[in-house]
């Protein structure tokens, strides 16, 4: 792919939001401009989000307020996926306890189900999605219903979310509280399951989408599960160190600092006799160590190191971190 911009090989970008486009209320530097450039190079744009606290229309409005291109239908959310999943499993008019936002309740209404807020209203299912207003009382109501044997669907299980002040608890931490209280496990509708990505690609009529995200366990795993190419950005949760340690199913095809690097050539990683080269950097594996010739600040060093380590450990079901040895520094 040397010589051509990374994005030129794809017909659509399926972008995560938190940690990719914005952190909290503020856009990540360079993100909005990069998204606006897509139309000029003939690449479609969809947003795939696990955040179920806002409606797709509210998400699209937030993006437009930041200056990013966003029509309502370009946003595909885990709350929509959860509602569709519940509608496929329950009769019309069934009562569903909402543990989450008013936007999540609205998605439940749109598929012909009845949202309720109390176990006393005899719900037959629970849907749990992120809301910053969720408190102990809400989790207790969910636990009563789940422990009673009701169907339980989580919009997503992100353990953390990036905010302007740092990393905060995500829906997965709240789901884990109910799971710990009840001994039950929910069905998960959003990332890392494939349907959310397939739905976004279908809306854009995309054959060769590129999934971009900051999280290995949701964005990259989900894109890989969908059979799409994946690119990890370093503007959110995961880091160079966590990416090189990634288990096989969570390894991205590409690694970039931020969305601006979509418009740069991506170096081909070459290898010869166990040495992997990316740009001016190279890496070789010795036992449980990766020896890197290059600058730690140069992402090519990490691209070479990832390629070498992953080739030496092609099938890992859990994260496996090497010892990093810098030969030139």
Hey, which residues are catalytic here?
16, 18
| CA-to-CA dists, residue 311 to 24, 88, 241, 271, 315, angstroms | 37, 41, 17, 10, 9
Pairing of strands 12-15, 26-27: unpaired
Structural tokens at position 132: 């910053």
Q: CA-CA distance, 256 to 261, in Å (whole number)?
A: 6
Q: What single string gives the DSSP state of each residue in 73-101?
A: GGEEEHHHHHHHHHHHHS-TT-EEEEES-
Pairing of strands 125-128, 151-154: parallel
Q: CA-CA distance, 178 to 142, in Å (whole number)?
A: 7
Q: CA-CA distance, 239 to 91, in Å (whole number)?
A: 44
Q: Which position has the token pair 């599960």?
A: 225
Q: CA-CA distance, 211 to 29, in Å (whole number)?
A: 19
Q: CA-CA distance, 34 to 27, in Å (whole number)?
A: 12
β-strand partners of 156: none
Q: CA-CA distance, 91 to 149, in Å (whole number)?
A: 17
């Amino acid at each position: 792919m040397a010589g051509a911009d990374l994005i030129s090989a794809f017909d659509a970008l399926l972008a995560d939001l938190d940690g990719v486009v914005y952190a909290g209320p503020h856009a990540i530097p360079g993100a909005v401009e990069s998204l606006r450039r897509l139309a000029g190079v003939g690449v479609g744009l969809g947003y795939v989000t696990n955040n179920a606290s806002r409606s797709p229309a509210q998400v699209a409005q937030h993006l437009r307020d930041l200056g990013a291109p966003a029509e309502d239908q370009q946003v595909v959310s885990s709350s929509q996926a959860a509602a569709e999943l519940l509608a496929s499993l329950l009769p019309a008019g069934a009562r569903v306890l909402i543990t989450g936002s008013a936007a999540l309740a609205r998605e439940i209404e749109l598929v012909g189900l009845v949202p309720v807020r109390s176990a006393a209203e005899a719900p037959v299912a629970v849907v749990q999605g992120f809301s910053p207003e969720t408190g102990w009382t809400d989790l207790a109501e969910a636990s009563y219903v789940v422990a009673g044997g009701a169907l339980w669907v989580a919009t997503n299980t992100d353990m953390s979310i990036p905010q302007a002040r740092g990393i905060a608890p995500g829906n997965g931490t709240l789901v884990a509280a109910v799971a710990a209280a009840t001994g039950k496990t929910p069905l998960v509708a959003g990332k890392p399951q494939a349907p959310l990505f397939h739905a976004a690609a279908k809306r854009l009529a995309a054959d060769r989408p590129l999934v971009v995200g900051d999280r290995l366990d949701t964005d990259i795993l989900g894109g890989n599960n969908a059979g799409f190419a994946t690119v990890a950005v370093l503007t959110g949760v995961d880091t160079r160190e966590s990416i090189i340690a990634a288990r096989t199913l969570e390894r991205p095809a590409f690694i970039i600092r931020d969305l601006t690097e979509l418009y740069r050539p991506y170096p081909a990683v070459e290898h010869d006799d166990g040495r992997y080269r990316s740009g001016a950097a190279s890496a070789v594996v010795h036992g449980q160590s990766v020896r890197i010739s290059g600058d730690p600040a140069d992402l090519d060093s990490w691209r070479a190191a990832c390629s070498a380590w992953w080739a030496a450990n092609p099938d890992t079901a859990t994260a496996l971190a090497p010892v990093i040895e810098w030969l030139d520094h």
